[in-house]
Amino acid sequence: MMTSTHVFSRVALGAVLTVIALGLVITPARSQDLAAAVMVLADEVLVLRSGTREELALPPGAVAPIGPGDRVRTTGNGRAFVTFQQINRLLLLPDSTYELVVFAQTRNDEVILEGVLSGIAVQQFGDDPARWAYQLAAARHNVTAPSALFAVWAQPGELEAVISASGSLTVTTADEMIAVPAGAGVATRYGSTPILLEPPLHAAQLVALAIDCQGVIATTDGLPLRLRQGAALDYPIVDGLESGAVVNIAGTTQNELWYRIPFQSGFGWLFRRFVAADCSRLPRFPDLVGEETEQIELVTEAELDLLAPFYGSPSTNPIFYR
């Protein structure tokens, strides 16, 4: 089996001719120089250069340098690595945007990296994170001290969370600084206390635990209670929960007929009549609401290194990995 390093190297080398054909020039940086680049993993990835108005579409395998003011955007199944000095990388998932704001080095060899995220990304440091003056602005959360591996969901109105898989990080909000240890996350819409999670470390689990409402499945016929992709009987069934199972409730519909619970890397809906719970102030969702599930197609080994702590494996999470 090829390692993620081998996969990364082969794709990068194979992309040189493609990048030249697009009119992009790559100049190898000296070891002491700062270098940032975008590496396209899957369609569709667009780059907007600083000071320009037209986005440039890059094909899978393309590698191109980026600098402060440049923006990388993914749509559809699009995914890309944004690399910093090669060994540090940010994996940008579908329907996400990353803007590089500052990438510089001080006289004391401290590296300054500032960016803005909309959507979902996983950041990994092969370098010592402590030598970086880091800031990632992501909706209501700013990551101001990174860990070696962490994920950020910056989707206002959907998921807003930061989770660390390796090492401690710091999240700064308008009101406070929050230290988040490894294996924990924070979703400040529901509270500023970091919450320890069970693998995989996904934001859906974090949000449900932060809301802190438990229920017990109580069917009358002994059959499993069907978990559906939306709050109506005509949505597909995605799982079945046995009577007596304890669930974390993350919301209800306006008509209060359905409960929302975390399921794999997203949520599902249970008919409320068969769930014994006493919860107040639950988030409310429109009647008949359906879930838009996070998913990617044809994951690479290089991506799995970053994704597995948060999304599990293709065998355990076939909904995400298509």
Reply yes or no on whether the pLDDT at 272 is more than 80. yes
- What is residue 287's predicted lDDT score, i.e. its pLDDT? 98
Q: How far apart are CA 20 and CA 173, in angstroms?
A: 42
Tokens of 166: 């390796």
The region that residue 193 occupies, defined by phi over 0 for left and psi between -120 and 50 for alpha, beta otherwise, is: beta
The pairing of strands 169-172 and 88-92 is unpaired
CATH entry 2.60.120.1440 includes domain 4-196: yes
Averaged pLDDT for residues 132-148: 97
Reply yes or no on whether the pLDDT at 177 is more than 50. yes
Q: Which of 64, 36, 35, 71 is nearest to 50 (CA)?
A: 71
Q: How far apart are the first and last CA of the chain?
A: 20
Q: How far apart are CA 263 and CA 251, in angstroms?
A: 13
- What is residue 33's predicted lDDT score, i.e. its pLDDT? 63
Reply yes or no on whether the pLDDT at 28 is more than 90. no
* Extents of the domains making up the chain: 4-196, 211-285
Amino acid at 12: A
Q: How far apart are CA 18 and CA 24, in angstroms?
A: 9
Q: Which of 301, 302, 294 is nearest to 321 (CA)?
A: 294
Q: What is the mean pLDDT of the chain?
A: 91
- What is residue 108's predicted lDDT score, i.e. its pLDDT? 84
Rounded to the nearest 10 degrees, the angle between the axes of helix 4-14 and helix 301-311 is: 130
**pLDDT of 52-93, one tens digit each?**
999 999 999 999 999 999 999 999 999 999 999 989 999 999
pLDDT: which is higher, 33 or 96: 96
Looking at the DSSP assignment, which residues form a beta bridge with residue 260?
251, 269
Q: How far apart are CA 254 and CA 273, in angstroms?
A: 15
**Eight-class DSSP state of 156:** T
CATH topology of domain 211-285: SH3 type barrels. (2.30.30)
Q: How far apart are CA 94 and CA 204, in angstroms?
A: 17
